[in-house]
Chain A
Amino acid sequence: MPEILNRGDIHAFKNEVLALIGQDASRCIQCGKCSSGCPIAYEMEHLPSQILRFIQLNMRDKALASNTIWLCAVCETCTVRCPESIDIAGIMDALRKICRREGVMPGDKKIAKFNEIFLNSIRGNGRVYELGLVMKYNMATAQPFKDALLGPVMFGKGKLKVAPDKVQDIAPVKAAFSKAKTFIAPKAKE
């Protein structure tokens, strides 16, 4: 069944995003420059401009369920090139925050797993421990030999280290993580 657009306030989701990060998606003129320049767009379920369109048309569930917002690498190519000066990468970030707050998980479980392992690695070491990340991710997703042939090559070039390389002072990292928690804390606890 097609979506009935005007069952509620059509501007609700747009205003929610606006209140969260001060970015007005209704300014988007749907020129498509963000989508055409996005280096990850080929992997995305919806193009970045479509996500903006979902916000304009109050299609909240569609925007939050799309893997696009999780695949966004925040390279900010879109933000820099947008003719309406919309911070599209910022909007993607805002949508991810809303997802975390409401417990909406990415449709593709691998994405959630990767993010979890990646963040744990940072939390523990202050920076990424690549070998650990790869191994944990491969085990978690039940594909132990994924990219196995790439390992020796990267070793040879010094890109992979055997042991984790910790930052000298982990305290600021911990502080950052606990502050981030206040952003993504479930609504009920606020």
Chain B
Amino acid sequence: MTESSQDENIEVFTYSEIENIEGFIGNFDVTIRKKARSVDMAKCTGCGECVQKCPTKVPSEFDMGLGKRKAIYTPFAQAVPNVPVIDRDHCLKFLKDKCGVCQKVCPADAVDYTQKDEMVQRKVGAIIVATGFSLFDWTVYEEYGGGRYKDVITGLHLERMLDTSGPTEGKVIRPSDGREAKQIVFVQCVGSRDEAKGVPYCSRICCMYTAKQTILLKDHIPDSQSYVFYIDIRAAGKNYEEFVKKAQRESGTVYIRGRVSKIYDRGDKLIVQGADTLAGERVEIEADLVVLATAVVPNPDAVKLAQMLNMPYDQYGFYTEAHPKLQPVESVTAGVFLTGSCQFPKDIPDSVAMTGAASVRACAVFSQDELTIEPKIAWVDPEVCSGCFNCMEACPFDAIISEEYQGRYVARVRESVCHGCGNCAATCRTKAVNVKGFTDEEIYAQIEAPFFEEEVEVA
């Protein structure tokens, strides 16, 4: 991150959102909302004095609420740029017009409470979408406590606890009473592979991060014991199977094949009720801490961006690639590429490989002066077009624009955007639109050819 933020050819917008995208491959116009940071990025030196002196403490989003952050903060230690932002929903200055300590202590005079959102325009040739994923809200599982038990946490909570520079400095504790956890139960597929309450697909990353967490737990707490309730161990990747076996054999993680039916409390313990289908026995475990591997789901606003980019998405909200096997990093919209878990759940090596591929595909767009496209695209005869623009409505790719022709407005197809689906041609009342190679004359000629062979001239 630091490296790319310092590269002269890379402009990084943080704390910003895409407001609007217009145009097409090679000519996108992007409107970016730079949200009011309340700190002048040019003046701030990143000394952190303001963060230290800020009196307001808020649960940290990055630490999954396990730690606190200030109202003026950087989300995590390595965040780029090292410039804090004021959380206006919690800052006393914005809530009650009191305090103002950060402005007083800032040696660079960088704090500016009057800053407003700023709109920035950029022209770009290609777009790579890497908006990532979100996690399934597991509290729909009433049988797992539905969020009532503090010691039922998710893998991301545990990940923060295992971090030696995290909120607990590497200690794995029970959030309820702060005691160190010794008997830890992991529950796989919470939301994943559950058509009734969750999503039908496999989230792909949970088996491996759970194995990793059990190994780390054994390292952090040598007298701890981890149990993993699973449906299948999906360890398909280089050295993945070996890694899971390492967890089982060297760290003594006990894998139990079956979904957990219920979690309830008895005294200060959580009773995890499951079955081991391999032994054919019902089992219960008295746990200190239960860690749920929650499903990977699309971001809640994924569809909004897809609509901005005229990009298809699937029934869940994951962006659809142009071809599942042969064009895995291209979206259907020319010039828009996909990478990472916004397309489907992916682990780190897959995401890195895909990002490399998407970057090179974007470079390929720039490497040539002219774009080579499929010849089978629509064309409007401006002499015939009546200017009703029904075709514009029919086009799923937003390829048709209105253009002046001899004093009146007619439809025109933007060649680089058109996919040749033929919707416009079918809609046109005056037969002004045709897909090249598929005009009525050409299709009739093909039909007639076998019957009137002698009349066909072969060019």
- Interface residues, chain A, CB within 8 Å of chain B? 2-7, 10-11, 24, 26-27, 29-30, 46, 49-50, 53-54, 56-57, 59, 62
Contacts and interface: CB of A to CB of B under 8 A. Distances in A.
B183 A2 contact: no
Interface stretch (B124-132, B150-158, B282-290, B431-439): B282-290
B286 A4 contact: yes
Contacts of A62: 279, 281
Given A5-B283, A59-B279, 19 more contacts: A2-B273, A2-B275, A2-B282, A2-B283, A3-B282, A3-B284, A4-B283, A4-B285, A6-B227, A6-B285, A10-B225, A24-B249, A26-B249, A27-B249, A30-B257, A50-B278, A50-B280, A57-B281, A62-B281
B276 interface: yes
A3 B286 CA distance: 11
B276 A57 contact: yes
Interface in B249-294: 249, 252, 254, 256-257, 273, 275-276, 278-287
Contacts of A50: 278-280
Contacts of A10: 225, 254
Contacts of A4: 283-286
Contacts of B134: none
Contacts of B351: none
A3 B248 contact: no
A5 B257 CA distance: 14
Nearest to A11: B252
B283 A57 contact: yes
A137 B245 CA distance: 47
B207 to A, nearest CB: 14
A189 B302 CA distance: 73
Interface string B14-46: 000000000000000000000000000000000
A3 to B, nearest CB: 6
A97 B257 CA distance: 29
A86 to B, nearest CB: 12
A154 to B, nearest CB: 39
A46 B225 CA distance: 27
10 contacts: A2-B273, A4-B285, A5-B256, A6-B285, A6-B287, A7-B286, A11-B252, A46-B280, A57-B254, A57-B256
Interface of B: 183, 225, 227, 245, 248-249, 252, 254, 256-257, 273, 275-276, 278-287
Contacts of A3: 281-284
Nearest to A30: B278
B213 to A, nearest CB: 18
Contacts of B280: 46, 50
Contacts of B287: 6
Contacts of B225: 6, 10
A46 B302 CA distance: 51
A125 B287 CA distance: 57
A175 B28 CA distance: 92
A49 B282 CA distance: 17
B254 A56 contact: yes
A2 B225 CA distance: 20
Contacts of A59: 279, 281
Contacts of A29: 245
B183 A6 contact: yes
Contacts of A57: 254, 256, 276, 279, 281, 283
Contacts of B278: 30, 49-50, 53
Given A6-B183, A6-B227, A54 B279 contact: yes
Nearest to A56: B254
A74 to B, nearest CB: 23
A26 B248 contact: yes
Nearest to A47: B280
Contacts of B249: 24, 26-27
A49 B279 CA distance: 8
A168 to B, nearest CB: 49
For B252, B254, B256, B286, the residue with the greatest tally of chain A CB atoms inside 10 Å of its CB is: B254
A4 B276 CA distance: 12
B276 A53 contact: yes
A27 B244 CA distance: 12
Contact of B286 (A6, A46, A49, A56): A6
Shortest 7 CB-CB contacts between residues of A and residues of B: A2-B282, A53-B279, A53-B278, A2-B284, A4-B284, A30-B278, A5-B283
Contacts of A2: 273, 275, 281-284
A116 B280 CA distance: 32
A116 B166 CA distance: 64
A10 B280 CA distance: 17
B48 to A, nearest CB: 45
Contacts of B227: 5-6
Contacts of A56: 254
Contacts of A6: 183, 225, 227, 285-287
Nearest to A63: B279
A52 to B, nearest CB: 9
B188 to A, nearest CB: 16
A7 B256 CA distance: 16
Contacts of B286: 4, 6-7
A26 B249 CA distance: 7
Nearest to B183: A6
B187 to A, nearest CB: 15
A15 B93 CA distance: 63
A59 B282 CA distance: 11
A112 to B, nearest CB: 25
Contacts of B282: 2-3
B227 to A, nearest CB: 7
